[in-house]
Structures are given as structure tokens and as C-alpha cells.
Amino acid sequence: MAARGVRLWVRTEPFLVGALARPARPARLTPHYLRKAAAYARARADQGCFPRLRWPCWRHIACGKLQLSRDIAWLYFELFRGLLGPAPPLRLRWAETEAACASAEELERERSKLSVDTLQFLLFLYVQQLHKVSLRRSLLGDEWPSPRTKSLSLSGKSAGGNKNWNDQEHLAFVQSHLLDMLELLLEPEQLSASSHSSSSSLVSYEAVCALSLLLEGTVSTSRTVWPLHELALRQPCHGHNGYSKVARAFSLGKLESWLRSCLTANPLGMSVCLKAGKKLAWAQQVEGTTRRAKIACSARVVAEVAPMVIMSQVYRQTLAKSSDTLVGAHIRIHRCNESFIYLLSPLRSVTIEKCRNSTFVLGPVETSVHVQSCDSIRVIVVCHRLSLSSTSGCTFHTLTPTQPLILSGNQAVSFAPFHTHYPMLEDHMAQVGLATLPNYWDSPMLVCRDSGDTNVFRLLPPSEFYTFVVPFEMDGDTTETPGGLPHEYQEALSQREHKVQLWQRTVKEAGLTRDQRKQFQTLVENKFYEWLVQTGNRQQLDSLVPPAVGSKQAAG
């Protein structure tokens, strides 16, 4: 090990952000079909399939060979592009291009100019098997990962967890499927007639570059994080990984052995964050309950790796933060109940799990917001993508350039336009490359149809729509909802405001005496108080009262 001096681990983002919690048509993304897709792409390099895969070529492979729908084909293509970039200015430029398209044909022409790295995209598709559960596992041997390791909770106890967040699952997946993934990247002449490798197979340098999508590491005690291909080219490693400068390739057997010997737990992953991360005193201990909120963040060890913030068991309170700790971070919100949570910073990704009766107001999210196993929550966010699984009675006020994904197990979902602002919102949107157009908040995609048909969701009727006010003062220039509101919702607000003005005029012209005005004011205040209690808004108002000096939330 000292001679190699290399420590490798599985990167978090391809699994956290890239793997759908419920993949679309997973049976068509097995190693068998992906090997066929790889061979097809390599054989048509002159047609835009290799080494970069253009959208029209992927559409043909997905629809014609893998029997995926065009929408699902674009979903995977766009999801992969979002995972690797492009940079925020290019995202904004693409949003402008997409919004300017006047027809589906024009949009398709613009999409046809896009391409992705073929080998990395194949690995990305392979990773969609992360959530695969095989009833034939005992017959298939080691096709799927070995018995699952359980993730840790914030208390340090084992708990069944979200595989997207479980770095132990990521490691087990790669260890179990490493040979399959290497074979997927092999050139055709390195494969046998049965599309498998042999003892003499060579892995090209380009294939190892593609594998850097999933693996990274360090040298000795250095804190610099390097992609796999740069570490593999280090001279001291050549004898162990079988690299030949003449062939510019690696011996498959030696490379696999070297990778396995160097693979270890992710020192920047969730497990380390839970065990050794910085504890944040952002939440209050609520009197009369034994539940204690737990919030932790990982250290910003290297600029190339996004930090993590994990919060759990925030109960019956308002938590509001705009902090450098949150900027560009992956956020996991777990088991938070009857609370109002404001995270007003530009974020990398957000996962909300097992929460009830709460409102979440989030800063712009660069990649995805995933909501899972939640009841009666409200999420207000500008994000690149929204996905839902196993939710009930939840409402989503979103501004998003992609279709919200309805995965399995959802009931009574409501979608509504984004309807709030805070002073730094537009600046934060620019930082993560999100624009006001296109906006597909009202065009969700049913990815998994086990929940039934379109009755799973509804668009919030304008009669039930109200704006939302962020009750905090901040510096910044945003003074209204970015992009405005759809006409029918703005009209409903205008009509409601007109009725209030008529009512105020009626009261003013009623000629009430001073005592009558006082009685009337008391009546209105009592009715308003009843409404606050019935809607749960009384709790939010109470929790907005500044805490005592000795119990202030710590700055993050």
C-alpha cells in the first residue's frame, strides 16, 4: 500500500444527484442492454455517437433499441448534463435559447446541437441500477450488491436510509459491479464473442477518464483531491495498475485489482459528516418535548467537493438561515415536523425526507430537490429539478426549467406557481444558473405509473392561491416574485384585493360611532385570531418572536 500511496473513494454526486430514486424503465438499463448500446455507439462514431453522443443519436438508441419513450430519453440526457454542468452562465444561455423556441420542432433542433461524453453517460445509466431490487438475487449471484449496510442516523444509530445519501451503499455498489462497469467501457476488440473480457483485455486511458465520473482520491496524506485518471497515471502506480505507456492502456486484471485495493470509505461523505461533522446550534429546544433538533455540517475540506448540511428533528419552530455554510451545499432535511424552515442561500441539492406538517422555503437549488415519504408539507423553491416519491397531501410552489418528476407512491399532490421573494433571490438565481423562463411548474411527468393516472396530482385552483411573504429583512434588490405570476393567479389576487377595498369602503361609509368601531375592531381581531389558530399560522407568528439573549440561534 505504501508503494502505491493512493486512496480512492466513490464520489457522492453521481449517486446523490444523478441516480433517480425510482428509475424509469430500469429493466432496460441492465448491463446486457447497456453493453449492446455501447457497441452500437462505438460502431457509429462517424454518425455522432462516439466519443461524444449527440442528442439525436441517443434518442434513436433509447427509443429504437431500449424501448424508452422520448420524454424518458430526454430526462436521462438532461439529468446527466445537469450533473456535470454546464457552468451557470451557460445554463442561463441555454435557458434563453429554450425559452425562445416557438415550437416543438424548433426546440428539437436546438437540442440536436447538444452532446455528452459517451462513456461517462453509459456509466451514468448504469448507476440508475442503484435502487434495483432483484427477487432473483440468489440465482444471479453477485449481479446486485451484497447485503446492504445500513446508514447512520444523526444519533449515530443504524437506520434504513435513502440510498442516494448512503455512501456505504455507493461503495458496495461499485465494489459489486466494478468488473461489469469496466467491461462496459472496453473497446469491441477487447471483448469476447459473449461481450465479456478476457485475461488479455486492455482498458483504454479514455475509459479510465470516464470512470473518474465515479471515483476520486488522494495521494498519501495530501488533502488535494484528484480524479481517478490523474492518480492512475502516477509512475509509482504503473506496476500495480498495469499501465503501459506504449499501448496507452491498462491491463484489465491489474487495474481492477488496484482499484479494489485502493477503494475505501468516502472521507467527505455523509457517514463522516454524521460522525465527525461540525454540530450547528441553529435550532431551539422546544419545551415540553424530548425531541432535540440535530444539525451537522461537513467541513469545506476542498473547493472541488460540495459540503453537506444534515438537519433532523426540528420540531414546532421557525428556523431561518442565510449562511456561507449553506452556499453550494447538499442539504438533507429529515424528520422535521410542524415547523417553518427558511434556508435562503444558493444550494447545490436538497432532500426532504419523512417530514410532516411543515413549510420549507429554499434558496435557488442548482441541481435537484427530492421529496420522499412526506405528509402535508409545503415546499417553495426555484430549482433545476423537482422529484417526488411516496408523498401525501403536499403542495409545491416552484419555478423550474424542467418537468417535475412524479415517481412512485404519491397521493394528492398539488402544484402551484412560485409566489414569493426575498431581497437576494435574483442574485442567488444567477449564481446557480436559473432563469425565470422556461418554467414547467405546471407540466409534471408521471415517471412511475404505479400510483395511477393523472389523478395523483392537481394544479392548485386560483381560488385557493395566496402569495407568501418571507418575514425577514435582508440586503438585496429583489422586490417582487421573479417572472411574475400566471395571469389567472394574478387575476384571482386582484379580485380578492378588490373585494377587500370594497369592504373597507363599506366600513368607512357606515357611519359607526366610536364605541361601534371599537366593538367592530374587537370582533375582527377575534375572528382573525381564530383563523390564525385554525390554519396553524399562530404557531409561525409565535415562533418569529426573537428568542431570549441567552438562547439565540448560533450564527452559521
Burial of 345 (0-12, 13-18, 19+ CB in 10 A): buried
Q: Are the CB atoms for 357 and 376 separated by under 8 Å?
A: yes
Under the banding of pLDDT at 50, 70 and 90, the label for residue 23 is confident
Residue located via cell numbers 446550534: 281
Which residue has 454526486 as its cell numbers?
13
Does 146 have pLDDT greater than 60?
no
Q: Furthest-apart CA pair in the chain: how many Å?
A: 100
Domain architecture of the chain: domains with CATH:
1-13+162-267 (no CATH), 22-133 (no CATH), 270-489 (2.160.20.70)
Type and span of the H or E element at 458: strand 457-459
Query: Which of 275, 298, 419, 295 lies closest to 348 in space, CA to CA?
Result: 298
Residue 548 pLDDT: 47
Residue given cell 446523490 in the structure block: 16
Q: CA angle 129-249-190, nearest 5°?
A: 65
Classified as helix, coil or strand, 163 is helix
Predicted confidence (pLDDT) at residue 16 exceeds the cutoff of 80: yes
Closest CA to 473 of 424, 543, 529: 424
| Residue 167 grid cell | 455512501
Angle between helix axes 167-185 and 118-127 (nearest 10 degrees) is: 140
Tell me the Cα Rg of the chain. 26
Contact 409, 427 (CB under 8 A): no
Confidence at residue 35, expressed as pLDDT on a 0 to 100 scale: 93
* C-alpha cell at position 335: 424528520
What's the rounded Cα separation, in Å, for the pair 247 and 228? 19
For the range 155-160, what are the long-range contacts, defined as Cβ-Cβ under 8 Å and sequence gap of 24 or more?
Answer: 155/294, 156/274, 156/275
SS3 275: helix
pLDDT tens per residue, range 158-173 = 444 678 999 999 999 9
3-state secondary structure of 266: coil
Question: Which runs of E-coded beta strand occur in 99-248?
Answer: 115-117, 151-152, 158-159, 202-204, 215-219, 226-227, 243-244
Output the pLDDT for position 134. 44
pLDDT tens for each residue of 263-315: 999 998 888 888 888 999 888 766 656 667 899 998 766 667 889 999 999 99
Quote the CA–CA distance of 52 and 38 in Å, as a whole number.
Answer: 12
Amino acid symbol at 195: S
Q: What is the mean pLDDT of the chain?
A: 88
Q: What cell numbers appear for 102 in the block?
A: 416557438
The 8-class DSSP code of residue 200 comes to T
Higher pLDDT, 549 or 47: 47
Q: Give me the percent of the chain exceeding a pLDDT of 70.
A: 87
- Rounded CA-CA distance 262/252 in Å is 15
| Overall average pLDDT of the 372-377 stretch | 98
CA dihedral 173, 178, 180, 183 (to 10 degrees): 150
DSSP state of 342: E
pLDDT tier, 149 (very low <50, low <70, confident <90, very high otherwise):
very low
Name the E strands within 205-348. 215-219, 226-227, 243-244, 249-251, 278-279, 294-297, 308-312, 318-321, 330-334, 340-343
Q: Give the pLDDT score at 326.
A: 96
Find the range with the poorest average confidence among 99-103, 246-250, 275-279, 528-532. 528-532
Q: What pLDDT shows up at residue 401?
A: 98
pLDDT of residue 452: 52
pLDDT in tens, 205-241: 999 999 999 999 999 878 889 999 999 999 999 999 9
Q: Report how far apart, in Å, the C-alpha atoms of 534 and of each of 104, 238, 253, 414, 541 are.
A: 46, 69, 67, 21, 13
Q: Residues 264, 9: contact at Cβ < 8 Å? A: yes
Q: Is the pLDDT of residue 204 over 50?
A: yes
Q: C-alpha grid cell for residue 214? A: 465515479
Rounded Cα distance, 13 and 19, in Å: 9
**Residue 301, pLDDT score:** 64
Residue 66 has what DSSP assignment? S
DSSP state of 377: -
- Residue-wise pLDDT for 426-457, tens only, equals 999 999 999 999 999 999 999 976 545 668 99
Question: Quick check: 469 pLDDT over 80?
Answer: yes
**Closest alpha carbon to 286 in 319, 320, 315:** 315
pLDDT tens figures, 66-113: 999 999 999 999 999 999 888 999 999 999 999 999 999 999 999 999
Helix (H, G, I), strand (E, B) or coil at 365: strand
Residue 143 above 50 pLDDT? no
pLDDT of 533: 82
The grid coordinates of residue 73 equal 430519453
Residue linked to cell 434495483: 132
Q: What pLDDT does 468 receive?
A: 95
pLDDT level of residue 521 (50, 70, 90 thresholds) = confident
